[in-house]
Amino acid sequence: MFRFRRFQTRLLVLFLALFTLSQAVALGLTNWAGRAAAQDEIHGALEVAAGVFGNLLDEREARLLQAAVLLADDFAFKSAYATRDAPTIESMLRNHGDRIGADVMYLLSLEHEVIASTREEEGEGHDFGHAELLEAAGDDPYGEATAIVLVDDRPFQLVVVPLLVPRHEAWVVIGFELDADFVASFRDLTLSEISLLAETGEQWRVLATTLPADTRGSLPGVLARTGWQDDAAFNMELDDETHVSVFRTLGVDDDIRLAVGMQRSLDAAMAPYQRLQQVLLGLLVAGLMLTALGAAWVARKVSEPVRKLRAGAERIEQGEYQTRVRITQRDELGALGKAFNRMAQGLEERDRVRGLLGKVVSPAIADELLSRDIELGGEEREASILFSDIVGFTSLAETLPPAELLDLLNGYLTGISADIESEGGVIDKYIGDAVMALFGAPLAKPDHAERAVRAAMAMADSVRAMNREAADRASTLSLGVGINSGTVVAGNMGSRTRLNYTVVGDAVNLASRLEGLTRHYRVGILASAATVEQCPGLVFREIDRVQVKGRQAAVSIHEPVGRKAHLDDAMRERLALFSRALDAYRQQSWDEAEAAFRAVAQYEPSGPSALYLSRIETFRRNPPPPGWDGIYRATEK
């Protein structure tokens, strides 16, 4: 779909489209109303024309009957008939026909043979041929009948009366031709076109018409394709011009159907309405020009403030919250500009608060606090909690000047904070050299456990890099990290006047205990079994089963080794060796366990293997009690 990018253009097009649509509807309604009015006018005129045509036929019929009766009752005519002298009878027929203006006159025998006629081609002894007319007269009580028939393919209105001398011995027939003069006088009288037609074998031919020569030729073909009914108006296309027509059957003569049709041109009747439409079209063009000018002025007055607001919004989107717009109009757009400036001021203040808050707490926590009502309370979330601490920080602090210690601590916290945040973690708080981080709260993370472990391994790499960079320092940094996953309560906690977004619960306490156990087991990172179960992409080695202080249930603790995809064969053998050593230790197979732990200790002299070798030596002197479960019970946090 075509779209306009500029608001001003859309507004201009909208005005023009609405104006054009309204004018098009007006033109359409005018055309429809005009056509309907023209149709109604023509229908009325054709009804009048049909009535006039019928009256004309009735008038001519009355004249013919009167003339025929007078001739049939004339004594001289009867005397001439008695002589049977055809020339005399014919002369009398001509004289009588000339007086009444008849076009044809016959004297017929009862056997339908011509006795005398005014038509030379139909002389004495000729068969009259129009049996239906004579049969109708024979069936009439007065022996009279009238009909329109074809004589030499020309339409005639004939009447027939009996000749009584004194008995009925012959028929007197008188007729008027429906010729060009007749149809022309009818058109002059009714202002409607008239056509007389004959149908033979579903083929129509024109007998007489007032239609123009280039139109009358198409009339038979169009009429043959039209299923018309008597006196029912319909539209027909003649030579690309629409005519409203009414046809009527005049009769059937020797199986030839005779009909009369009256037409009026719909296009001619529509001419006044078309002139009106031309005037309206001119007004439409003028109106379009005026509308375009007015719409352009209005669009500019509207779009200019909108462009200012858009430019201001784009600058605010780029962080320029000090942006303000100047709109001098005293209408809704002016009010919108003032509201925009108030919004920009509010965003500027909020950005200042967010910037300050983001330096005090994690940006994610800052967004959480700013996105909802700040109130005490929390909700249960599935999350992973990470506690980290510098091993031996107290001793380190004694050896360094305060300023140097602060620089060291800030560099350390900056590095590990970046590692945590790169995995989507959130710094909950700094406690001296200790850090508490959340994964899965306040932003839900389906893989929060694996993110926490990856962050811990990255933290360990960062500390080793710091030690390499500060090789001249008397002592190196050693990191201890504890990780646990589970259900916690996350939310705003504290007092009504001072809040802290954090998490609480048994899962948090266990993570803190695991961080403390890293010193005991001489490893950098310890994760609970709940965390390990949610890290399918990482490899761990089980270190021990421990009952931490304050908890009744024991927990299996593990050290992350690395990603499965990056594990080499040597490390796999070392892990398998440590696992066999741990199994032998739990089965109190001290010799087997000692041999395996010593083999592992060759690779990590200060690791957990040394701790187990010390325990084995102790258990040899003081064997564990019966039912010993191999669980280590920590007495310190």
HSE, side-chain direction, 13 A CA sphere, residue 561? 19
Distance CA 77, CA 63 (A): 19
Domain ranges in the chain? Answer: 28-269, 320-360, 375-564, 568-637
CA gap 365, 428 in Å, rounded? 8
Q: Which is more confidently placed, 357 or 191?
A: 191
Give the least confident one: 168-177, 474-483, 521-530. Answer: 474-483
Q: What's the mean pLDDT when you consider all of the chain?
A: 83
| First and final C-alpha spacing in the chain | 69
Q: Mind listing the pLDDT tens digit for each residue in 88-128? A: 888 888 888 888 888 888 888 888 888 888 887 777 778 88
Burial state string for 313-348 with b = 16 or more CB within 10 A and e = fewer than 16: eebbeeeebebebebeeeeebeebbeebbeebeebb
What CA–CA distance (Å, rounded) separates 450 from 456?
10
pTM over 0.75? The answer is no
Per the listing, tokens 């479960």 go with: 629
- The count of C-alpha atoms lying within 13 angstroms of the C-alpha of 206, restricted to the half-sphere facing its C-beta, is 21
pLDDT of residue 487: 93
Contact residues for 574 (Cβ-Cβ < 8 A; gap 6+):
600, 603
Give percent of the chain with pLDDT exceeding 70: 91
Question: How many C-beta neighbours within 10 Å does residue 68 have?
Answer: 27
- Give the burial string for 185-199 (b: 16+ CB within 10 Å, else e): ebbeebebbbbbbbb
Decide if pLDDT at 360 tops 50: no
Name the pLDDT band for 637 (thresholds 50, 70, 90): low
593 Cβ neighbours under 8 A, 6+ residues apart: 581, 582, 584, 585, 612, 616
Is the pLDDT at 443 greater than 90? The verdict is no
Residue 113, strand partner residues: 127
Which amino acid is present at 40? D
Is pLDDT of 497 > 70?
A: no
Token look-up 């083929």 returns: 203
Angle between helices 569-586 and 590-601 (to 10 degrees): 150
Tokens of 269: 């009747």
Q: How confident is the model at residue 8 (pLDDT cuts 50, 70, 90)?
A: low
pLDDT in tens, 278-311: 777 787 778 778 877 776 777 676 667 777 777 7
Structural contact between residues 196 and 155, judged by C-beta atoms closer than 8 angstroms: yes
3-state secondary structure of 229: coil
Q: CA-CA distance, 512 to 482, in Å (whole number)?
A: 6
The residue whose two tokens read 């005129």 is 45
How many angstroms separate the Cα of 296 from the Cα of each of 7, 290, 292, 303, 548?
Answer: 11, 10, 6, 10, 79
What pLDDT is attached to residue 369?
A: 52
Q: What angle do CA 236, 237, 242 make, to 5 degrees?
A: 85
The residues near 75 (Cβ < 8 Å, ≥ 6 apart) are: none
Neighbours of 174 (CB within 10 A): 30
Residue 331 pLDDT > 70: yes
How far is the C-alpha of 53 from the C-alpha of 61, rounded, in Å?
12
> What are 409-428's pLDDT values in tens digits?
888 999 999 999 999 999 98
Superfamily per CATH, domain 375-564: Nucleotide cyclase, GGDEF domain (3.30.70.1230)
Tell me, what's the pLDDT at 272? Answer: 74
Task: Read off the tokens for 284.
Answer: 């439409």
Q: Over the range 112-144, which residues count as b (16 or more CB within 10 Å of their CB) and which as e?
A: bebbbbbeeebebebebbbebbbeebeeeeebe
* CATH T-level assignment (fold) for domain 28-269: Beta-Lactamase (3.30.450)
Query: What does the pLDDT look like over 53-89, one tens digit per residue?
Result: 888 888 888 888 888 888 888 888 888 888 888 888 8
